[in-house]
């Protein structure tokens, strides 16, 4: 249930916590609340057991931003110097730490993605990726699924190219975990970030997978303190968050296949209805009928001649966005859509829709009505693209 009267289609930004997750977390506030580091007493041991139940080769963090920082800075600074490769459409939680690393002497290549008229819009060209690797490349960071246009990168192939050259690979899998299969062995990735609040878990809890429990992939800690997490991340463990994240993951794995099929149907219905009412709306990113290339819960399209922000203002019952929540207050056009090759007007006319397992067909039908009404009012006013 969204806030009464609101249709929530901003699930790339965050998701509603599943009630079953809340139920799993509740005992950790009232009864099993001890510090997981307090192994001197029974409650502490119980908390530690809860955490151990949730972990394998995992460092628990406060979310994907921290996981990305730990992976990128922690690995690169430990290596000392060299070349790093990434992609222009990464989230700022990857691009910003890489920029900081550049300021302390690392060289960073930011690869473009393929444009709208190519066969694979939004995806990295593997040949260009291979050509970008240099003898002193130490790390590549490539997201699995994009938060604006849902593009799924060919990560297994990227990892293969890197493994042959002894280059470690970090993946920001924030939008992918719980939505598509993510198997670190099949992908061959060394470091992988994710966060609970994107798959109906609580905010403020994430994780970094580190291949080989940190014996091969060594990280310099970015938060020093009591030596928790094998010295890689100081701070009292967020037991409630970790239990909630584990439960949310369990639920996502149980229903992922059927949820994806339903969300893809609803997403396609939304796009069909919008185009039936408003005419052609160019799609941003990969084709909708290529499930291996695009997330089932993502739609991102242009409303030619209209301003996305005005469209949203004109339909206040809809909760959606024109791009990443982290840059929603910035007047800069989306760097993701710009990297895709869109001009300023095309970027400005674009909206992003993010569905979840809770999205209903009634909500989709109402959303297309509301947006079409908003678009017609704007057209009638003649206030097309805002300044």
Ligand X SMILES: Cc1ncc(COP(=O)(O)O)c(C=O)c1O
Q: Is 363 in the site for ligand X (CB under 6 A)?
A: no
Tokens at 323, concatenated: 């791009």
CA distance 118 to 370: 32
Closest contact distance (angstroms) between CB of 172 and ligand X is 5
Helix (H, G, I), strand (E, B) or coil at 351: strand
**Angle in degrees, CA 63, 67, 68, rounded to 5:** 120
- Sketch the per residue contact string, 128 through 157, with ligand X: x for CB under 6 A, - otherwise: ---------------x---x----------
Q: Give the footprint of ligand X on residues 185-244 (CB under 6 A).
A: 195, 206
- Sketch the per residue contact string, 288 through 327, with ligand X: x for CB under 6 A, - otherwise: -------------------------------------xx-
Tell me the residue number closest to ligand X, measured at CB: 63
Q: Is 108 in the site for ligand X (CB under 6 A)?
A: no
Tell me if 7 sits within 8 A of 15, measured CB to CB: no
Looking at the Cβ atoms of 325 and 386, the one nearer to ligand X is 325
Residues in the chain: 387
What is the CB neighbour count within 10 angstroms for residue 87?
Answer: 27
The dihedral over CA atoms of 373, 374, 376, 380, expressed in degrees to the nearest 10, equals 130
Catalytic residue numbers read 326
Closest contact distance (angstroms) between CB of 185 and ligand X is 22
Tokens at 152, concatenated: 């799924």
Q: Contacting ligand X (CB under 6 A), which of 73, 91, 335, 352? A: 91
Q: Contacting ligand X (CB under 6 A), which of 15, 76, 141, 174? A: 174
Helix (H, G, I), strand (E, B) or coil at 238: coil
CA distance 344 to 338: 8
Helix (H, G, I), strand (E, B) or coil at 197: helix
Tell me if 83 sits within 8 A of 102, measured CB to CB: no
Q: Is 356 in the site for ligand X (CB under 6 A)?
A: no
- Sketch the per residue contact string, 45 through 74, with ligand X: x for CB under 6 A, - otherwise: ------------------xxx---------
Tell me if 352 sits within 8 A of 162, measured CB to CB: no
Q: Which stretch binds ligand X (CB under 6 A): 19-27, 113-121, 168-176, 269-277?
A: 168-176
Looking at the Cβ atoms of 89 and 228, the one nearer to ligand X is 89
Binding site for ligand X (CB under 6 A): 63-65, 91, 93, 143, 147, 172, 174-175, 195, 206, 325-326
């Amino acid at each position: 249930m969204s806030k009464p009267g609101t249709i929530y289609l901003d699930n790339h930004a965050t998701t509603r916590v599943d009630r079953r997750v809340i139920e799993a977390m509740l005992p950790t506030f009232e009864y099993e609340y001890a510090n997981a580091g307090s192994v001197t007493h029974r409650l502490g041991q119980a908390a530690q057991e809860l955490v151990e139940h949730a972990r394998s080769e995992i460092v628990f963090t406060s979310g994907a931003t921290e996981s990305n920082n730990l992976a990128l800075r922690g690995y690169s600074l430990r290596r000392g110097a060299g070349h790093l490769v990434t992609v222009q459409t990464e989230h700022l939680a990857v691009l910003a730490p890489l920029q900081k690393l550049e300021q302390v002497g690392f060289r960073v290549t930011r690869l473009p993605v393929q444009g709208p008229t190519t066969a694979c819009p939004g995806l990295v060209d593997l040949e260009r990726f291979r050509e970008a690797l240099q003898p002193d490349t130490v790390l590549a960071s490539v997201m699995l699924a994009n938060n604006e246009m849902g593009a799924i990168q060919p990560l297994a192939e990227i990892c293969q190219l890197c493994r042959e050259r002894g280059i470690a690979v970090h993946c920001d899998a924030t939008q992918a975990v719980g939505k598509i299969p993510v198997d670190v062995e099949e992908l061959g990735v060394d470091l992988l970030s994710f966060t609970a609040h994107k798959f109906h878990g609580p905010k403020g809890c994430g994780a970094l997978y580190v291949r080989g429990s940190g014996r091969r992939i060594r990280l310099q800690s970015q938060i020093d303190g009591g030596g928790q997490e094998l010295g890689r991340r100081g701070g009292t463990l967020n037991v409630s968050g970790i239990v909630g994240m584990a439960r949310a993951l369990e639920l996502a794995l149980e229903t992922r296949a059927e949820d994806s099929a339903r969300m893809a149907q609803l997403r396609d219905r939304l796009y069909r209805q919008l185009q039936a009412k408003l005419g052609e709306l160019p799609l941003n990113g990969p084709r909708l009928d290529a499930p291996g290339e695009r997330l089932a819960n993502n739609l991102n399209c242009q409303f030619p001649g209209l301003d996305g922000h005005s469209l949203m203002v004109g339909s206040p019952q809809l909760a959606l966005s024109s791009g990443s929540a982290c840059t929603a207050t910035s007047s800069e056009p989306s760097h993701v859509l710009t990297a895709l090759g869109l001009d300023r007007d095309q970027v400005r006319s674009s909206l992003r829709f993010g569905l979840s397992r809770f999205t209903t067909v009634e909500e989709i039908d109402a959303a297309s009505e509301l947006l079409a009404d908003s678009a017609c009012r704007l057209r009638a006013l003649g206030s097309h693209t805002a300044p």
